[in-house]
Structure 1
Amino acid sequence: MNSYERFCFNLIGRDLKEKRGEFIKLRNDLVGARMNTPFEAYLATAYVSSVIVGLVAAVIIGLLTYLLRVPEMITYRGAVPEFLYALNDYKLLLGTIIITLISLAIFGGITYLVFLLYPGIRAGERRRNIDATLPYAINYITAMSSAGITPAEVFRLLGQSTIYGESAVEARYISRETDFFGKDLLDALRTVSQATPSERMREFLQGAVASISSGSNLTEYFRTKAHQYTLENNQQQKTFLETLGLIAESYVTAMVAGMLFLIILQSVMTILSGDSNPLFLYIIIYLIIPFGSVMFIILISSMTPEV
């Protein structure tokens, strides 16, 4: 924990232990993301930060609202109850208070939501990295095991490697369980398999536990899993390329040919109508095309497997 998280924990964190059952997903995400902040400290930081951000945003927006006299710019010409006419003289003050409270709720709520979602996002990133590097890590493990190195030392060597990403991080946690907490290898593998965010890594570690417990050939198990995950990666890449080709065709159809057709059609209609302000044409050029292109970029980026 850093000093700010420690301050938040000392402020309200000790009263949040009874909330552990209400935030099971958050606790699992914190473990899967390998964030070193305890649950109570993280939740206390979320609460305190939400209040601080909400208050700061509310004060700033409230001051701007009052100084710019925004409520007085709003004019309602419909019928209203009689008692609202008496409040018209206080429109600036009441409008500022309402906008300030709304700003407090919005910015505080967004900050709290970000704190709740962030561990899950980090855990998802780790999961993708583990799934991408696991076949290569298992090949490394297989080579070490074939050389006669003990399983515990194999995972320790994998954890010391810098080229296998988050798979090496999970191996370091296995070594931590055995070296610092005195667990045997089977208990360490079980502990890490329950905490890892990757289904592939969990399956692999649980299979290793079963193989060691039954006295099977662990090296042969490593070799089989390496071959399996390599085939799965190849199939995943093939599926991704096929999907990418479909997305490319959709982009050409919708964002190139479709937009070009709309631009030409709107230009002709503008000339025929003599309109000097073709609003829809501006919307196509400056809003729809850039926004649509960004959406395609985000889509491709989100579905691209790590390598």
Structure 2
Amino acid sequence: MNSFERFCFNLLGMRMKARREQYSQLRNDLISARLKTPFEVYISTAVVSSIIVGLVAALGLGLVTWFLKIPNLIHYKGEVPATMLFLNQYGLLLGTIFAVVFSLLVFGGITYAIFIVYPSVEAGNRRRNIDASLPYAINYITSMSTAGITPAEIFRLLGDSPIYGESSVEARYIAREIDIFGRDLIDSLRIVSSSTPSHRMKEFLQGAMASISSGGNLTDYFRTKANQYALENRQTQKLFLDTLALISESYVTAMVAGTLFLIILQSIMSVIGGDSKPIFLYVVIYLMIPFGTMMFIIMISSMTPET
């Protein structure tokens, strides 16, 4: 906790603590995202930061509106109500007040919304990373279990292996519950399974709990889940490659052949019509092609599985 967060907590911490029940989803997102900032500190920082950003934006926009006399640039044409004519005498003052209030609400609200949404976004990123690395992590767990290593030590070793990404982070939390808080393996698995953002990790940990509680063979369970997730991983990759092939064909059709056809057609029409400034041709070259390409890049990036 840095000095600014400490200041925000000292200012609003007790008030925010009394509202814990109103922010249950935010608290769950903070835990799932593995953010180390306590809820009271985080929400206090969000409120104070929103107020500061709103005040700074209000001051800046208010000064710009006042000194540039932006409200005086508005002119009425035709007949207007007498009330508007009366208010027009104070147009600069009223316009500045409106700009200040508007910027305070908008920029402050956007800042607060970013603070509220960020933990859920981070939890979603962790979920994708866990789902991508879990099949390989389970293969590692299966190998260690086959070698006769105890389950608690397996999760410690997995937590010390950063190559498995966020799956290693979840394993470190399991080891922390055992080593620091003195809980047994089943309680540790239950706590982490209830807070992990990945449904696949939750299912795996709950299955391990059931296998331990019933006295089943944990190695066989690990081997079964390794085969299951390996098959699902291959199917997911095959589906992604098929979708990527479809998108590539669509890109060639729409952004290569389609735009080339439009450019040739518009060029011929401009020559025939004697148009020296073909606006549509400029739109195709400088807007349609770059923005369309950017759209395809964003689409592919959002669909690409975590590596």
Same fold by TM-score greater than 0.5: yes
> Under a length normalisation based on structure 2, what TM-score does the superposition of the two structures give?
0.95
Q: Using a 3 Å threshold, how does the CA distance of structure 1 residues 61 and 272 change in structure 2: closer, same or farther?
A: farther
Find the aligned partners of 1:116 and 1:9 in 2 and give their Cα distance.
Answer: 17
Residue 172 of structure 2 aligns with which residue?
A: 172
- The amino acid of 2:254's aligned partner reads A
Residue 99 of structure 2 aligns with which residue?
A: 99
Q: CA deviation at 1:296?
A: 1.1
Find the aligned partners of 1:291 and 1:103 in 2 and give their Cα distance.
Answer: 30
Q: Say whether residues 1:49 and 2:49 are aligned partners.
A: yes
What SS does structure 2 have at the residue aligned with 1:215?
Answer: coil
Residue 14 of structure 1 aligns with which residue?
A: 14
Q: Using a 3 Å threshold, how does the CA distance of structure 1 residues 13 and 184 change in structure 2: closer, same or farther?
A: same
Find the aligned partners of 1:90 and 1:274 in 2 and give their Cα distance.
Answer: 53
Q: CA deviation at 1:2?
A: 2.3
Residue 213 of structure 1 aligns with which residue?
A: 213
- The amino acid of 2:292's aligned partner reads G
Q: Using a 3 Å threshold, how does the CA distance of structure 1 residues 53 and 80 change in structure 2: closer, same or farther?
A: same
% identical aligned pairs: 67
Residue 255 of structure 2 aligns with which residue?
A: 255
Query: Per-residue CA shift, 1:150-192, capped at 9, x if unaligned?
Result: 1111111111112111111100000110111111000000000
Find the aligned partners of 2:152 and 2:55 in 1 and give their Cα distance.
Answer: 52
Q: CA deviation at 1:23?
A: 2.1
What SS does structure 1 have at the residue aligned with 2:162?
Answer: coil
- The amino acid of 1:115's aligned partner reads F
- The amino acid of 2:303's aligned partner reads M
Structure 1 residues without counterparts, runs of 5 or longer? none
Q: CA deviation at 1:304?
A: 0.4
Find the aligned partners of 2:67 and 2:279 in 1 and give their Cα distance.
Answer: 33
Find the aligned partners of 1:50 and 1:232 in 2 and give their Cα distance.
Answer: 44
Residue 88 of structure 1 aligns with which residue?
A: 88
Q: Using a 3 Å threshold, how does the CA distance of structure 1 residues 78 and 288 change in structure 2: closer, same or farther?
A: farther
Find the aligned partners of 2:268 and 2:23 in 1 and give their Cα distance.
Answer: 58
Q: CA deviation at 1:272?
A: 4.2
- The amino acid of 1:285's aligned partner reads I
* Residues 183-192 or 92-101, more deviating: 92-101
C-alpha RMSD of the superposition: 1.6
Q: CA deviation at 1:273?
A: 4.2
Q: Using a 3 Å threshold, how does the CA distance of structure 1 residues 46 and 282 change in structure 2: closer, same or farther?
A: same
* Residues 85-94 or 294-303, more deviating: 85-94
> Under a length normalisation based on structure 1, what TM-score does the superposition of the two structures give?
0.95
Q: Say whether residues 1:283 and 2:278 are aligned partners.
A: no
- The number of residue pairs the alignment matches comes to 307
- The amino acid of 1:105's aligned partner reads L
